[in-house]
Each structure stands twice: as C-alpha cells, then as structure tokens.
Structure 1
Amino acid sequence: MPHIASHRWSHPASRAPRALHDWLVHPGSLTARLIARFPDFRVRLLRQHYAMPCRDELKALGMPRPALAVVREVVLLSGDTPLVFAHSVMPREALMHGFGSIRRQGTKPLGATLFANPRVQRSQLAFRGLDRRHTLYRRASAAVGPLPARLWARRSRFELFNARILVTEVFLPATLR
C-alpha cells in the first residue's frame, strides 16, 4: 500500500515531543489504547456531513478531482476531558463499496469498527505539527476550547478492497498525562 505523505505530512515522527512519540507511532487501534489508559473513555460526535475535503486529503485518498465526501468529526474523551480530536474523510464510493456501516456509526468509535475487520488494511502513518493556521487546529479549538500554540497529528488511510477512508487524529494536551 503506498504511503500518504504529502506536503507537510511526513515520516517519521521524530520532530514530535518525546512524551507524545509513543502515542503518535503506535500502529494499533488508538481507541483500544485510549480505553486501556482512560477507563471513562467516550466519543462525542461533533458532525458527520457531506463536505469538500482539503486538497491534501483528496491527494491522500487518490481522488482525481474535488468531490463531496462524508466528513466525520469527533472528540475522544475521558469523562469530560478531551483527549483527541478526530477528523475522517469518507468518499461516497467508500460508503457504497466496503465501509457502508460507517454511515450509522454515531458515537461508536470508528477505530473499533476499522480494527474489528481483519480485511481492512492501514497505510503507513504520516505526521504533522499543527498551529492556529491549520484548519484542523481551528476545528479542534472550536470543539474543546483554548489550546497550546502547537499540536501534533497523525493520519492514515484505511482500505477495504478499493474503498478508502482517511483518518486524522489530533492529540490534545490531556493525552500526555
């Protein structure tokens, strides 16, 4: 499976703070790891609607031209403490051919669905530092309130047959506790 690094998304995560490195590079389910560390884990669905993906998301998904996709945004929490802001892009084709059950995901963690299916393949992880200029930083801040000047994110593509979805996870300060 080809990697998904593009402008400013890179490999490896060596520029990230040492305390966050293990969270960023963990190859398994982030959901399972958060549940193990934070027993009061829950998902707050912010939105799931059709929208235009960003240019680099289109490229990472191999979409030849701009098209609407389902964009899902959630906050993963421990009780009321936000841990991760997650942003997923799901092209219509992916929802019709392989990932159809995600339309009814609601507050169920997406990771639980993706990692439960052994046929789903995951791309290499890509990493990026985000600041106030980045759309995902601003969306995370709107969802959870004031944030430090820099956050770190990772993203990967999940594939089931020819269906692809892109998942970006933005790590919030409480993850480091």
Structure 2
Amino acid sequence: MKNRKHNSQARYRWLVKPLLSHAYRPWLINNQSLTARLQQRYSDFYVVPLAVNFLKPIRDEAAPLNLSADKIVLVRDVLLYGGQSPMVFAHSILPRKSLRGVWHDLGKLGNKPLGATLFANPKVKRTALSYKKLSPNHVLYQHAIQHLADKPASLWARRSVFSLNCATIMVTEVFLPNIICS
C-alpha cells in the first residue's frame, strides 16, 4: 500500500531540471518569454483559444498557488501556432482573487498571447521553472493531444507562477512534437 501511495505522489511531482529532455531542452530551460521566441521564429505566429472556464485545479496545481484543491480557479487553454502547426499547448490558471486589480482582464484575452502581457510589466515576478515529462495518464497530456494527429508516448511541459502585488497566475506550457521538427 505504501509503495502505491508513493507512486501516486510521484506522478504529480514536478522536477527542478528537465532530465533526459534531449531536443526539448533548449525550449524548456529558456526562461524568457516563450511567446517572444515563437514570434521571432515564426512570422505567422498566432494563438487559438480553446477554453476559458471556472474549474477546480488539477491535483498538482493547487499547492504551488497555496490553494486548497477544492477552490475554483479560472482556467484558460490555448494553442500557440507557428508555421500553421500547433507548437505549444498552454494552460493557465488564475485564482479568483487574482482576477481583481491589475489582472482583471486576463480572463478576456481571447486570441492575444498571455506571455506578452506578463513579460511587458517589469514588476511581474516569476518563480523558477519546474518540469515534467507528461505521460498519457496526466490530464494535461490528455488535453494537449486532442489537437494532434499522431499521439506521442509522452510530452514535455514546464510551468511557473507569475505574481504582481497579491495576484498570481500559474502558466504551464506543454511542448508539442512540432516544436522540435520545424
């Protein structure tokens, strides 16, 4: 029983280094704006909104935001495109209290990139990046592959928490295979 519990907890653990991430590593470890990098690389970069909903956070998202797992948060899912292909599945969560003040419009971004908003303000602080090789049983993997013709065995993701005053937002970026094929 103890071993099963340990394996369950390990499933939700994020890493401080993207071990054995190979071709994804340069994308994972760069802590600059992913939006800016994609815009530099692709003249036809664009964002496709998938969903904006009030939901409970995924099991491994509540603790880094100091939330209880039953709190409702605003969840925004988008695809970042370059070269007419999806490159990144981005998943952001904002606690309700963060929707007040300076970030009150973040839930209404539509097809505007969140990264441009976050990196435009020098007062925004960012935690260190954490990493995870997502397996098919992870919710984010399941959401990301819905937009792929071929289903990879795993997907690499990174996440961090941005803060400004008392407002926080967690951004998770799931790197799709196209990002290393282009």
Query: Taking structure 2 as the reference length, what is the TM-score of the superposition?
Result: 0.89
- The aligned counterpart of 1:3 is none
Cα RMSD of the aligned pairs, angstroms, is 1.4
Q: How much has 1:72 moved relative to structure 2?
A: 0.2
Q: How much has 1:7 moved relative to structure 2?
A: 4.1
Structure 1 residue 76 corresponds to structure 2 residue 72: no
- The aligned counterpart of 1:92 is 96
Paired letter, 1:10: L
- Alignment counterpart, residue 15 of structure 1, candidates 12, 20, 27: 20
CA distance, structure 2, for counterparts of residue 65 and residue 142 of structure 1: 25
Paired letter, 2:179: T
- The aligned counterpart of 2:168 is 164
Kept in 1, the 8 Å contact 2:59–2:69? The answer is: no
- Alignment counterpart, residue 114 of structure 1, candidates 111, 115, 118: 118
CA distance, structure 1, for counterparts of residue 24 and residue 51 of structure 2: 27
Kept in 1, the 8 Å contact 2:76–2:107? The answer is: no
- Alignment counterpart, residue 155 of structure 1, candidates 152, 159, 175: 159
Kept in 1, the 8 Å contact 2:56–2:69? The answer is: no
Q: How much has 1:101 moved relative to structure 2?
A: 2.1
- The aligned counterpart of 2:130 is 126
Q: How many residues align?
A: 171
Question: SS where residue 32 of structure 1 aligns?
Answer: helix
Query: Taking structure 1 as the reference length, what is the TM-score of the superposition?
Result: 0.91
- The aligned counterpart of 1:140 is 144
In the TM superposition, structure 1's runs of 4+ consecutive aligned residues that sit over 2 Å from their partners are: 143-147
Paired letter, 1:16: S
Question: SS where residue 179 of structure 2 aligns?
Answer: helix
Kept in 2, the 8 Å contact 1:47–1:74? The answer is: yes
- Alignment counterpart, residue 30 of structure 1, candidates 2, 17, 34: 34
Q: How much has 1:80 moved relative to structure 2?
A: 2.7
Task: Structure 2: state its 5+ residue gaps.
Answer: 1-10
CA distance, structure 2, for counterparts of residue 54 and residue 115 of structure 1: 25
Percent identity reads: 43
CA distance, structure 1, for counterparts of residue 19 and residue 69 of structure 2: 32
CA distance, structure 2, for counterparts of residue 143 and residue 99 of structure 1: 29
Question: SS where residue 43 of structure 2 aligns?
Answer: coil
Matches within 5 A, 1:43-82: 43-82=47-86
The Cα offsets for residues 111-141 of structure 1, whole Å up to 9 and x where unpaired, read as 0000011111010000000111110011011
The Cα offsets for residues 47-81 of structure 1, whole Å up to 9 and x where unpaired, read as 01111101221101111452111100000001430
Kept in 2, the 8 Å contact 1:129–1:152? The answer is: yes
CA distance, structure 2, for counterparts of residue 145 and residue 125 of structure 1: 29
